[in-house]
Structure 1
Amino acid sequence: MVKRMTKLLLVLALALVATACGGGTETQDANADGSGQKEVVKLKLGHIATENDAWHKGALKFAELVEQKTNGEVIVEVFPSSTLGNDRDLIEGMQLGSVDFALVAGVLSNFYEPYSILELPYLFRDKEHLEKVLYGPIGEELKAELLENAQLRGLQFWMRGPRELTANKKVETLEDLKGLKIRVPEIPASLAAWEAMGATPTPMAFGEVYSALQTGVIDAQENPRALIASSKFQEVQKYLMKTDHVFGYVLLTMSDITYNKLTPEQQKAIEEAAKEATDYENQLVFELEDQLLEELTNAGMEFVELDVAPFVEAVQPVHQEFAAKYGQELYDKIVNTK
């Protein structure tokens, strides 16, 4: 009898310890009358954009859909404005399992190099070309390879508005780029391309860009209109050049460690929610493009349209270099997608 009681007490003690160390999960009543219990899994999603950005609104929609589709079993908390760190921090966090989801883009090329090709300026002809690549076999292949090589699970590609150049001097020709100190993300393709166009690129975390522009550490930066407006770069930049040099994406990415902790039903719900949130975010992005331009020009920025043909020609050697280094076959498939 004494042995039996000792075993029972030991089991109870272990149960209490397990409850106390439950980490990111908690339990709550399965229904209003408390007739059952379910485990609630709380997950974190980080990104670098502000709360006004389409990324954030898309992330909130994703969180809402996940909660609905799992009947409240999985809750996604969204952290904007680099609260969980910059792009590199978020990616490393997902690899460690300390971050569950992130919206990340070009910095992925530092973790799986073929993604560098997607960052080449003037690779994509227009938005439709980008969509055909990302939402076809090439996009599926890219996600599968990211999982295999970097242990990052790409859920869905989200569209972004084209990247455009802002500066405190008017840029209309390649000559105007000479000596221009331009912030670029930590992406080799961006560095090489802007050097080829004659600028002086400076890699810098996104959260530092506003103050660097304000203090004159850099002269220019390049981003989609949505990030320009939500980050208030119009307060510290005079000109907005319609370079449209990158038709780009952001990838809703998930830690594979987190994914494998979930039930098959929860995994399926997350995948479905990601797809539905993609449709929502993509529509929002392109509905806002004209409105954002009006907002930026009303704030005092001068909008400059220019002939991009010389810019396209200047980056062709970089295209060839990166294709040879990171995947000629991938590059050719993208260029030949009609």
Structure 2
Amino acid sequence: MLKKTIAISVMIVLLFVSAVACGKSDGNKAAAPDASGNQGSGKAVKLRLGHITGESDAWHKGALKFAELVKEKSNGTVEVEVYPSSTLGNDRDLIEGMQLGSVDFALVAGVLSNFYEPFSILELPYLFRDQDHMEKVLYGDIGTKLKADLLTNAQVRGLDFWVRGPRELTANKKIEKVEDLKGLKIRVPEIPASIAAWKAMGASPTPMAFGEVYSSLQTGVIDAQENPFALIASNKIQEVQSHLMLTNHVYGYVLLTMSDITYQKLSPDQQKAVEEAAKEATTFENDLVAKQEVELLDSLKKDGMEVVELDTAPFMEKAKTVHGEFAQKYGQELYDSIMNVK
């Protein structure tokens, strides 16, 4: 009788332990679909967005708008903290951080070509006829395919392209013709297409992280740099450069990107909130850039920069001598499709 009682007691204890273990195991599984069929718990998360520009730049204001919209659309379950001025690193650091999952979002542009080479073609000086041509490319089938291919090849998710003003040349002397570029030490991003084109135009391009540009101009390590009005003004390049040449050599973009590691951790509702916020923030930023272009040029003039309008045709002719090489290397079909957009 005693043996039977002990056996029954042991069975009860084993059943209790088994039930507790099952309960713990279930707690570690992914949350069951909610009433709408969505997976994921939708728990509140804080994410980080980095970029290289200052707080007065349209990128930063667009990023803050994006953060506001994400919080609103996710009902407060996703908060985005914005880190300007290369706080989280330069462009390359930000992209590598997204690949590792240590950075959640970033605003990046040409350096993407180091992670998915066909983006090099977008960086070719005098590729786009004008701003309208660029927007038709980026917001059409070509831009959609580039974002999909970036995800496949670099595990970085392109949310949306933001437009920026055209890149212009600054220096401490007046440059009126392409021959004036001879031997000019000009800072360029770490982008092969940009380096090759400036060499073809006669300059001596020096690849450098943007965070080093101001001090390098100040100390004479470099003579010149090229960027849109917004980056020139927000980083006070006018304090160390006297002349602004309206070369309009690159009609550029910045891509709002997201770590795919981070994206996959969000619930479907949170993913949708991020994607919708990206679209609305794009409209906000693009409108802001268009408004600021006139204001920024006026501001740079008031700060003492001499603005030089020049005939860009000779610059274009030299720069285009490298187009064929990059088209052949990184995608003739992509290059031709861009050229054929009307």
Q: TM-score, normalised by structure 2?
A: 0.89
- What is aligned with 2:285? 281
Are 1:214 and 2:245 counterparts?
A: no
TM-superposed deviation, 1:316: 1.7
Aligned to 1:129: 133
Within 5 Å, which residues of 2 pair with 1:62-73?
62-73=66-77
Aligned residues: 319
Question: What is aligned with 2:38?
Answer: none
Q: Percent identity?
A: 73
Does 1:49 find its partner at 2:53? yes
Unmatched runs of 5 consecutive residues or more in structure 1: 19-36
Identify if the C-alpha distance between structure 1 residues 13 and 332 changes in structure 2 by more than 3 Å, giving closer, same or farther: closer
Q: CA–CA distance in 1 between the matches of 2:194 and 2:216?
A: 19
CA RMSD of superposed structures (Å):
2.0
Is the 2:138–2:161 contact (alpha carbons within 8 Å) kept by the matching residues of 1? yes
- Partners of 1:129 and 1:285 lie apart in 2 by 17
Shift of 1:61: 0.3
Q: Which residue of 1 aligns with 2:259?
A: 255
Runs (4+) off by over 2 Å: 1-15
Pick aligned residue for 2:172 from 135, 156, 168: 168
**1:233 paired to 2:250:** no
Aligned-partner residue type, residue 227 of structure 2: N
Q: In the alignment, which residue of structure 2 is the partner of 1:26?
A: none
**Is 1:293 aligned with 2:297?**
yes
Work out which of the two has the higher radius of gyration on C-alpha atoms and give 1 or 2.
2
CA distance in 2, matches of 1:146, 1:333: 18
What residue identity is the alignment partner of 1:203?
P
The gaps in structure 2 that reach 5 residues or longer are 1-11, 29-40
Partner Cα separation in structure 1 for residue 57 and residue 272 of structure 2:
27
Give the structure 2 partner of residue 327 of structure 1: 331
**Is 1:199 equivalent to 2:217 in the alignment?**
no
TM-score for the superposition, normalised by structure 1: 0.90
Partner secondary structure for residue 260 of structure 1 = helix
CA distance in 2, matches of 1:98, 1:246: 31
Report the equivalent of 1:31: none
| 1:264 equivalent in alignment to 2:268 | yes
Q: Which range is displaced more, 216-225 or 37-46?
A: 37-46
- Give SS of 1:201's match: strand
Contact map agreement 2:42 2:267 (CA 8 A) in 1 = no
CA deviations over 1:22-67 (Å, ceiling 9, x no partner): xxxxxxxxxxxxxxx9721111100000110000000000000000
Equivalent AA in structure 2 for residue 310 of structure 1: P
Whether the aligned pair in 1 keeps the contact of 2:42 and 2:269 (CA below 8 Å) is no
State the partner residue of 1:183: 187
